[in-house]
Amino acid sequence: MMLFTEVRGLAVLPPGGSGPLGTVTSLTVDIVSGSVSHVRFRDGRFGREMALPWDAVHTIGPGAVRLRAAAVPEPVPSQHDLLGHRVLVDTGTEHGTVLDVAFDTRTARVLALFTTRGELPADSLLGLGEYALVVRAG
């Protein structure tokens, strides 16, 4: 298990040990599957934001995100960063903002969300938009 805040700032390393491609800025979550879909990073050369699909990640852990041989950056997906997002319950009440997200580094599955009002189970995720993350009342 790892937290999104632990991943931010990690170097993105290609296979073969050459220099880093950039630094992780955030992780994109596919709400439908409840998994991390992309690793977003700032390109070390030009400062552009790029994204790699989760399938391109070989390992992720303290110190770096290491990529597989066939890792090709993609345009950044339009999903919003979960961290700092307002949380609304499907009944219309507010549940604070997202402080952190725990996920499994092997499967990319989201395990839990930590908000300013407490922990939410990953299976409560319903939708993510520009305004808020919507979760199922539990």
CATH 2.30.30.240 domain range(s) in the chain: 2-67, 86-135
Nearest to 70, CA basis, from 10, 14, 128, 9: 14
In which region does residue 4 sit, left (phi positive, over 0), alpha (psi from -120 to 50) or beta (all else)?
Answer: alpha
Whole-prediction pTM: 0.90
pLDDT confidence of 71, banded at 50, 70, 90?
confident
Note the Cα 87 to chain centre separation in Å: 16
Segment 21-42 shows an average pLDDT of 93
pLDDT confidence of 18, banded at 50, 70, 90?
confident
Instruction: Check residue 57 and give its pLDDT.
Output: 94
Task: Please give the CATH topology (third level) of the domain spanning 2-67.
Answer: SH3 type barrels. (2.30.30)
Specify whether domain 86-135 bears CATH 3.30.460.10.
Answer: no
